[in-house]
Amino acid sequence: MKTKREKPEPADTATLAEACAMKKHLALSAKLDYELESGQLIQAKDARRAAFATARKARDMLLTMSDRLAPIVAGLTNRFDCHEAITAEVRRSATS
């Protein structure tokens, strides 16, 4: 959801310093609006939501890894085969 910020109106009696500050503020505001509209910036709440969803997916993959690995590893007696099966599952989980 894109929102426009209200731009302050310069006062008639603004000092030079105030006018310069106002000009700088307006320029920065316009830059932020442009970057938001062009997709270069996103809302912080959207970034938090995406990060949370990614972390939850990673957590869920880790928590269910033992359920996926138990039947595979249960029949293996060679530690190298166990290692290979675990490594393959970790790689699959890390790349999905």
Amino acid 64: pLDDT: 92
**What ranges do the domains of the chain cover?**
11-41, 44-95
22-59: pLDDT as tens digits: 899 999 999 998 988 898 988 899 999 999 999 999 99
Amino acid 93: pLDDT: 87
pTM, to two decimals = 0.56
Amino acid 7: pLDDT: 62
Amino acid 9: pLDDT: 62
Between 11 and 26, the higher pLDDT residue: 26
DSSP3 helix / strand / coil % (the chain, rounded to 5): 75, 0, 25
